[in-house]
A and B are shown apart, each in its own frame.
Chain A
């Protein structure tokens, strides 16, 4: 116990005297959460420019144009008179879509026939495509319903009945947990959870590499300290630092960003503890195996993007082959991101994410054993020299 404490305190000394480590353990945690969300600060993509090709030039086509312009997702950039002009700007990427209003538009509406408009949307960028279509469908739907209800009222049908007859089975959709569909709210929490693991991997890797290249610190008689004490002592040191980060990120920063916080804080902390320990032991296990300390940096960079996409928050796990999903469970971030989002963003209880929690506890135990084995090997080589 005393040994553990000795290693623990000594590790603070090492960390706080190494600028490179401070940069990762503190600098990255401070800067990254402000830098990474920058592209998404507007949360929702609005006012995507579209071009109207109005062949009709009637009162009704102008009305439709105004309604499209008024929709918050899209914005009428210009009106042009030929389709080719519009298509050229779409190819250049200046606009996200084209709405084509045909010559007989008003005539058909007034005669009570079905009129049509054409939407051309650039699907090479998915979000642009989605906003253009939703925007046009919403405004055309309103326009359409307006016409039909007016017609029925002209035939003496009451407004309420008219509304009801135009849609006999209405659907009301409630987006839960991220009601406005904000992009930062969607991406940033997952990325910050991943960041904890990745900075631990790289920081612990660098610390262990430095030790290998520069030898032991003089403060501890390494021959008399057991390997388990070394692994645990260091782990408690990193854990204490990262618990401060957890409070900073999820307690303070999330409020600053107005991210949802629906979970029970106690459940959240209980869930995060095995995540941190699993990541720390994994980092210690990996670092023992490599001679070169830069390698932890490479592994970090290599694994970040795959780890994010394997956590299932953007691309559904049901669409990823099972063997890869199972393999991904070896990364603490996979279970952690999924469970964290459920607790914090959706308000699930620890019991609801029991599977993920179990996985993290299991990884903690397994990686602890691997870490002891790996650090022992590393110390034996160091003591021989």
Chain B
């Protein structure tokens, strides 16, 4: 391992670099100061107050008051603003005349996450203003405040955000992207460990040295990497809970066990792929396809409950899906052990199935020179 710089890259440097990159991208946790523009056709005290209120939210930043709607749209196309809020002409007058003037919010929904955050905050600000106006109008007609509130909002909603009360993306995305990166390296390293022996034609020697003991070969070849990746896996979780103080509500032993199974599961699948193809480059292509698409199927950004059947099935044959579920369940939700048991069983299944199936072919490809040197 120490003789090949490539191995150092796959086992230590790139995994740590990827953890660092995602940490840096998401460390702010919640977006702030997203640029929007306002077209103020009214230019009164009320309209200026609304502009200021939009600007004063932590998410929004009114970067420009535009003089035409076209200018506001141009800013959006150029990427200088994510939304255009149009305050209509005679707005203040129309409010007093009870004409309900309409405010229009054009927001960029192409960037879905940003668009929905922005729309939510703009809606909150305008609703607050509207409720305030409603209340003061009623008070002018001598309605009591409590009675007026019952009229303004006959049904109020008490919102309880469970499990991730700060709605922090840092916890969520860093916590799930790190294992996504780790699985790539685990599976690639497992393939390399055997693929190089085949490519260089040293597989026969390996077999001789181990006296034909397949278990000894597999364990001997993989265990050093298992240890490194388990340590990395524990590190990536523990530093998240220690340094930025990611809340941990569940059972650490379950997460540690899941991390160990996760590493072995991807090693098992890696070994299975190389024993089926007996070709380093082909195996890397297959593993690349299998692991590079895993995040989309892992149910992090778009949950499995919304996927069509085939995607659900594919999602379930990725150890990453089950690992992420244990991670979210144990760290963010703090579920009892019983909820995580099915996922731990899935992870164990990959290990057993992967290694057992590879054993059937491993011996053949190791001893027959026919399989060597192909790439």
Residue from A122, A123, A172, A297 whose CB has the most chain B CB atoms within 10 Å: A123
Contact with A along B124-163 (1 / 0, CB 8 A): 0011011001100100000000110111111111111111
Q: A38-B311, A127-B301, A320-B24 are in contact. Are A136 and B157 (CB under 8 A)?
A: yes
Which residues A33-53 have CB closer than 8 A to chain B? Answer: 35-36, 38-42, 44-46, 48-49
* B65 at the A interface (CB under 8 A): no
Q: Is the CB of A42 within 8 A of B306?
A: yes
A103-125 contact mask (Cβ, 8 Å, vs B): 1 or 0: 00000010011111111111111
Q: How far is the CA of A46 from the CA of B332 in the complex (A)?
A: 24
The winner among B18, B109, B164, B299 for most chain A CB atoms within 10 A is B109
Q: Which residues of B contact A163 (CB under 8 A)?
A: 100
A91 to chain B, nearest CB (A): 5
In the complex, are the beta carbons of A167 and B98 less than 8 A apart?
no
Interface presence of B281 (CB below 8 A): yes
Q: Are B123 and A147 in contact (CB under 8 A)?
A: no
Query: Do B332 and A124 have beta carbons less than 8 Å apart?
Result: yes
Would B180 and A305 count as touching, CB distance under 8 A?
Answer: yes
Q: Is the CB of A124 within 8 A of B164?
A: yes
Q: Does B285 contact A (CB under 8 A)?
A: yes
Complex CA–CA separation, A30 to B152 (angstroms)? 56
Binary contact track B225-253/A, C-beta < 8 Å → 1, others 0: 00000000000000000000000000000
Closest chain A CB from B223 CB (angstroms): 22
Total count of chain A residues near the partner, CB < 8 A = 108
B323 contacts A by Cβ under 8 Å: no
Which residues on B sit within 8 Å (CB–CB) of A144? 153-155
A167 to B26 CA separation, bound complex (whole angstroms): 38
Contacts of A250 in B (CB 8 A): none
B134: min CB distance to chain A, Å: 5
Taking CB atoms and an 8 Å cut-off, the chain A residues in 3-58 that contact chain B are 20, 23-24, 28, 31-32, 35-36, 38-42, 44-46, 48-49
Check if A176 sits within 8 Å of B329, measured CB to CB: no
B residues within 8 Å of A by Cβ?
6, 9-10, 14, 17-18, 21-22, 24-26, 28, 31-35, 74, 76-79, 91, 95, 98-116, 119, 122-123, 126-127, 129-130, 133-134, 137, 146-147, 149-165, 167, 169, 172-173, 177, 180-181, 184, 188, 192, 280-282, 284-285, 288-289, 291-293, 295-297, 299-303, 305-308, 310-311, 314-315, 325, 328-329, 332-333, 335-336, 339, 375
18 pairs from A and B in contact (CB 8 Å cutoff): A39-B299, A39-B315, A93-B339, A109-B155, A121-B162, A129-B164, A136-B157, A137-B157, A144-B153, A165-B137, A171-B130, A172-B103, A183-B112, A183-B302, A302-B14, A314-B111, A315-B113, A348-B78
Given contacts A40-B296, A172-B103, A320-B24, 9 further A-B contacts (CB under 8 A): A114-B156, A118-B158, A123-B163, A147-B154, A171-B130, A173-B105, A295-B9, A318-B32, A348-B78
